[in-house]
Amino acid sequence: MNDGKRLHGATVVIMLLTRLKDFIIPIIFVFFVGATGGGIGLFAMVALPFLFIFSAVYSLLYWLTYWYRVEDQELHVKQGIFVKKHRYIQRKRVQSFDMSAGILQRMFGLVKVQIETAGGGSEPDVHLIALDRAEAERLRQTLLAKPEVTAEDGEARPAEMTEDEEPEPLEQEIEASWALGFKHLLFAGMTSGGVGLVLSAVLALFSQVDVLLPDAFYETTVGFVLSSTITFLLIAIFLIAFFAWLISIVITIVKYGQFTVVKRGNDLVISRGLLERKQLTLNVHRITAVRFVTGILRQPFGFTTIYVESKGGGRADEQQSTILVPLVNRRMANRVLGKFLPEFVVEDEVGIKPLPRRALIRYMIRAVVPILAVVVPLSFLMPSGAYTLLFILLGIFLGWLRHRNGGFNVSGNYLILQWRLFNLNRAVIPRKRIQAADVTQSPLQRWRRLSTYSVSILSSMSGKSFEIRDITAVRGEDLLAWYSKEGDTPDFSREGEKEKSLM
């Protein structure tokens, strides 16, 4: 493949800086450890130059050995310094084309491209570190455009663009668009729930700070904290939590700033990010389900987030899903969704069929048992540990809430499932996108005439499943018959009569 294309030459510098950035924390850690152990001189003289030279040589060899080319109906990629790897991806198998520009790419006016196929795993199938924006746009149009050229053998072929041909700015007219305003962005940060992760990171950092601080300063600080009053400690905990909350707001603003969704034909182009500008192109025909996720902090305000499940395009930090709309009022959610995916709109009037009352005790037990496993040992080990038993009441309330909000329904050819752990989730799944449906019964469920109904769909990885626990056994059979088209749309109003017939 000598006539293939290389990545932009700046790839070498970008890879080198990226590797050094990844090593910055270990370098700082070893630097301080070495300083306390007297080995800083050897580390600075040998390890750092070796790391720099190794990264530079590896980046150069990576760039020299990486080629790509679109030929016929396939994208052909060749890579590997010692072990050569050829990858062929059929153009029709491309599920998503993700174009982003991080800080390093922006320094050179370049973009990064990630191409995914269905079932490709958690990592992109093709990762092009640095491309000229025009070349990336040309590649995107070549891979995602409909076949326009018919060969002599009658087989449709992609309309591959030449290097001299400038890519068209837009393939099709914009049919719909939506943007996240700053007020909603700020509110999304204030209610993101990411403060827990940030707080965990802050506490983990504090747990390691004793290694970096001088012994005398550390002992003085710890002694002062241990001798402080409860009021001072509570104020300190509040300030740490407040600081973590501010950090989570900044992270959300940086991550979802300038969020826009544009629909062009069958493509959804989702752009976001202040520092690293990301652009994801999803084909609407690849979308297999829509989820409304309402965080526990957003529920009192009536705001929700709209996710889409798709064959390709999911992100690891979003549970292999893709955020279509980060924050929208629940009353406006269907109107916004209808602009991009009208076929997934199910009116609120359809409602949710509640779970049977006899399932309530099972939901409470599931919520209380994990709490018992923690608070019972603490009640014996801590001086005032008996007070932790009050958390059992919280578990009972949580179990009641999960039972109250759980449910399902069918609207034409769409299945609706609703459940919660802490966040409230509602999934809308077309029948034609369901890969498999199952009804399972444990011995206790059989005794209580209950069952668990689950469905599987294709997603960016091997697949994803949704389930609703402890529905009545009769309704599970009705849902199974609806999926297999052996029965009409279930008439759940007759469920009570069926239940009586089984008694």
Tokens describing residue 92:
């029709």
Task: State the Cα–Cα distance between residues 37 and 319, nearest whole angstrom.
Answer: 43
Question: Tell me, what's the pLDDT at 34?
Answer: 55
Confidence category of residue 324, pLDDT binned at 50, 70, 90: very high
Task: State the Cα–Cα distance between residues 277 and 98, nearest whole angstrom.
Answer: 11
pLDDT greater than 70 at residue 165: no
Contact 450, 356 (CB under 8 A): yes
What CATH number labels 5-145?
A: 2.30.29
pLDDT greater than 60 at residue 278: yes
Task: State the Cα–Cα distance between residues 161 and 149, nearest whole angstrom.
Answer: 12
| Whole-structure pTM value | 0.75
Read off the pLDDT of each residue in 31-59 and give the average, rounded to a whole number.
Answer: 69
Give residue 389's identity as a one-letter amino acid code: L
Confidence category of residue 153, pLDDT binned at 50, 70, 90: very low
Task: State the Cα–Cα distance between residues 116 and 174, nearest whole angstrom.
Answer: 24
Tokens describing residue 461:
């990885």
Contact 62, 81 (CB under 8 A): yes
What's the start-to-end Cα distance of the chain, in Å?
72
- The kind and range of the H/E element at 415 are strand 414-420
Question: Tell me, what's the pLDDT at 218?
Answer: 65
Question: Tell me, what's the pLDDT at 495?
Answer: 52
User: Which residue intervals of 328-359 are DSSP H helices?
Assistant: 330-340
Question: Tell me, what's the pLDDT at 72?
Answer: 74
430 alpha-carbon distance from chain centroid: 21
CA 418, 420, 424, 430 dihedral sign is negative
Task: State the Cα–Cα distance between residues 32 and 212, nearest whole angstrom.
Answer: 6
Read off the pLDDT of each residue in 226-231 and give the average, rounded to a whole number.
Answer: 68
Question: Tell me, what's the pLDDT at 171?
Answer: 56
pLDDT greater than 70 at residue 467: yes
Read off the pLDDT of each residue in 87-106 and give the average, rounded to a whole number.
Answer: 81
Contact 290, 306 (CB under 8 A): yes
Give tens-digit pLDDT for 420-432: 988 999 999 999 9
- Coil vs helix vs strand at 121: coil
Read off the pLDDT of each residue in 124-138 and give the average, rounded to a whole number.
Answer: 86
Domain ranges of the chain: 5-145, 173-345, 360-398
CA 127, 129, 131, 136 dihedral sign is positive
Question: Tell me, what's the pLDDT at 167?
Answer: 47
All residues at 6 or more sequence positions from 54 whose CB lies less than 8 Å from its CB, including other chains: none
Please provide the size of the chain in residues. 503
- Coil vs helix vs strand at 466: strand
Question: Tell me, what's the pLDDT at 151?
Answer: 47
Confidence category of residue 152, pLDDT binned at 50, 70, 90: very low
Structure-model confidence comparison of residues 476 and 487, the more confident one: 476
Confidence category of residue 207, pLDDT binned at 50, 70, 90: low
Give tens-digit pLDDT for 255-269: 899 999 999 888 898
Give the rounded percent of residues in the chain with a pLDDT score beyond 90. Answer: 25
Question: Tell me, what's the pLDDT at 335?
Answer: 92
Read off the pLDDT of each residue in 399-405 and give the average, rounded to a whole number.
Answer: 94
Closest to 157 (Cα-Cα) out of 266, 69, 74: 74
Task: State the Cα–Cα distance between residues 222 and 214, nearest whole angstrom.
Answer: 12
**Core vs surface per residue 431-444: b (16+ CB within 10 A) or e:** bebbeebebeeeee
Question: Tell me, what's the pLDDT at 23?
Answer: 74
The full DSSP string for 417-450 is: EEEESSSEEEEEEEGGGEEEEEEE--HHHHHTTE
Tokens describing residue 305:
């987030």
Mean pLDDT over each residue of the chain, to the nearest integer: 80
Contact 306, 323 (CB under 8 A): yes
pLDDT greater than 50 at residue 156: no
